[in-house]
Every structure is written in structure tokens, then in C-alpha cells.
Structure 1
Amino acid sequence: MSKKVEFRLSGAGGQGLILAGIILAEAALRDNKNAVQTQSYGPEARGGASKSEVIISDNDINYPKVRKSDVLLALTQAACDKYIDNLKDNGILIVDENVEIKYKNNINIYKYPILRTASEILGNKMVSNIVALGVINGITNAVSVDSLKKAILARVPRGTEELNKRAFEEGLSLVNNLK
């Protein structure tokens, strides 16, 4: 049986969600799966709406856009409000601890201190995207941990590899500690 998972990573510009989507897609390719990544963001470089979409499949991907997501990451309230209606029934909603879920039945909701972990534990809010990747993969196991680590280290700015490795591990441990 083939498996296809559609991800929508959303938040504000400057949170690194485009890079997170690229890393997730690259990890899938490293696992010999098919993947496609698309992105959009508002006119503001920082602070405007941002989303990255990734489709991972064992088979060919016929359409590169996410129609209804299986997994929605929302790091901001605005992103959650905007995209929650496009989450499939029984889909996975992953939100930062500050996001309020106002409605929506038949979804699996996971709330984690993603932004706080980046800023307070790691001392750098710029790695919240990598913390989020750890959380996403801890919940979904969409790609192998090894492939995701390799993709992270291949894509993050030089000199930040250790910080980003720790961010990924912190994201994974958020999920493991709350299972």
C-alpha cells in the first residue's frame, strides 16, 4: 500500500518555515521517497504570513500543491485560523503553546512550547523552525531521524550546525517527554 502525506507548515515570515519545508522534503528524498515542496509568503520579509507545503509519497506525486493537509503546523494564531479548515478529518494539528484552537472536530491536536524552547532553552528564536521539525517528526515519523538530521546539517547556515542539531533534538524530546 502506498502512503502519501501532505504537510502545511505555517506561521509568520522570518520563522524559517520555507527552510523547514525544504529540509523535510530533502530528508524524504534521502529516504528514497518522492517529495515536492512549494512555498508562499506575504509581501513583508519578516512578520507577514508564510507557509511551506511538502508532499511526501512512496509513489509519483501528480499535483504539487496541498489541497487538504494531513499535518498542519501553525506557529501563529493567524496561521492556525487561516489554515485549520483545510486540515483533513483525523488530521494532525501541531501548534505552539500560545495558539488557541477555537474549533474543529475530528482532528488530533498537539500543543508544544516550540517558540519558547527556541528562545529560552536554546537562546535563539531563529531555530524555532528546527525545533518544529523535531516535533513534527516525533509525532509523524514521516522520515527517518538520520535523514532529517543530515538534511538539517546540509541546509542550515555554516557555523550554526551544533545549535541546529540541539534544536532538532529538543523538538524530538518535547514529543518523547509528553508521550
Structure 2
Amino acid sequence: MTASLLGIYVWAIGLVAWFIIRYPYARKARKTATVKAVGWSRERILLAIATIGLVVVPAIWLASGWPAALNYQLSYVSVVAGALVYALSLWLFRRSHKDLGRQWSASLEIRDSHQIVRGGVYRLIRHPMYSSFWLWALAQALLLPNVMAALSGLVAIAILFFTRIDHEERMLIEAFGDDYRAYMRETKRIIPGIY
């Protein structure tokens, strides 16, 4: 098996794993009432962009081969690195959901009885779910042997993150005030000790 084909298989298995991880948490979260939602239309557009970059563009390339001119051969080193990054992404994705419990939502929402989560991975970073998405996009860049399919995830996550993060933190400051501001001083956004 070529490294490029192996990379595609690893990416596809990771994608399936992502949905398997998300499903039970999404079901549980639907049962918890939403007190406040922010930017519903903007949220739908941003989530669609993320889905396009992480799922749709690679799927179109896999199904059609277009654009074949942007294909290249992967090395096994790239595939191993991509698999390790993907594994870390999936672990962090699952851990973030587990630590948030019923407070998790796909869009910007404050849930009934919402509290600031400071345990688990949230003791190191405020937004580990975004960290997991950045890692997923990096893994995709290492695993898919087509420039457009490989980089579409990084572009999509950059749009999602940089458009959404300030709105999310403003919403949390409104909901929790000085308690959230103190948490912001104690932690970094997505990279422990750095950013």
C-alpha cells in the first residue's frame, strides 16, 4: 500500500471516529435547555464553512479526483505524523466533550445551570475543542495527497476560530463576569502556556 493511500485511509477512519465520538454528546446536549444563544445565522455559516473544509472538499476530491493537478505523493513519515496528530485531536475532542458534559453545544449557547468548567483539559486551556479542530486540520494537511483537500481544513478552521472566538468569550464574560475574567487570566486560549 502506498503512503498516499494509507494517508487517505487514516483520514477516513479519523472522520468516522469523530462522528462516533460526537454523537452521544450531541444527543445528551439536546436534552439540556438553552438559556441564551448568540449569532444564530453567523454560527450556521461558520459551522458550514468548517464542514466544507474538513469534510466536503476532501470528499469531493476523493470521489472525483478533482483537481488532479494538485495531487502529490505522501511519505510514510507524513502519514505517521498525521496519524499521531489525528489521534491527539480525537483524544482532545473526546476529552473536551466529556469535561463539558451537557454544557456542550455546537453553536454559541449558554445552557441551563451552565458553569465554568475548570477541570480536565480546561485547567490548561479555555477552548480545547478548538485546539482539537486545529489538530484535525493539521492532520488532514499531513494525510491527504492533494493540496486543495489537504489545506482546506486549515483555511476553514482559521475562518471559524478567528471569526468566532471573540464572540464566544464576550458571551462567557456576560454570563459569568469576573469569574470568567479570572479564568481567562489563569489559562491560554488553545495552546497551553502560549496562546
Does TM, normalized by the shorter one, top 0.5?
A: no
Structure 1 or 2, whichever has the larger Rg, is 2
Higher relative contact order (CA 8 A, sep 6+): 2
- Indicate the structure with greater helix content: 2
Higher strand proportion (structure 1 or 2): 1
TM-score of Structure 1 vs Structure 2, range by shorter chain: 0.3 to 0.5
* TM-score, length basis structure 1: 0.33
TM-score (norm 2): 0.31
